[in-house]
Amino acid sequence: MDFSDLFITLKQGTEAGPYATLASAQSAGAVTISYGLFINAVISFLIVAFAVFLLIRGINRLKREEETPAAAPSEKECPYCFSNISIRATRCSHCTSELEAA
């Protein structure tokens, strides 16, 4: 649909009377609010925005990230004091107990 001929006349032009189209109102010199052009612009924007949304959503589905393997743990828990220590430690730095070699 074309809403471009929808307008409100604020002030009559040189020729008085109801105007059939926006072009005839503007040629008569009438002051108008062209709300039909605004409605056309909003509808066009919504159509383009929806199309771009669908395009980006399709591209994001194609670009699935590969699953990265989980990193090896760098800390372990002391079985005596339950504090976190380095995985390469042979003695706990908090309780000084000897640990088994991993």
Q: Above 80 in pLDDT, residue 66?
A: no
Percent of the chain with pLDDT over 90: 32
The pLDDT confidence band at residue 102, using thresholds 50, 70 and 90, is low
Q: What pLDDT, in 10s, does the model give residues 69-98?
A: 778 888 888 888 988 888 888 888 888 888
Question: What is the three-state SS of the chain?
Answer: CCCCCCCEEEECCCCCCCCCCHHHHHHCCCEEECHHHHHHHHHHHHHHHHHHHHHHHHHHHHCCCCCCCCCCCCEEECCCCCCEEECCCCECCCCCCECCCC
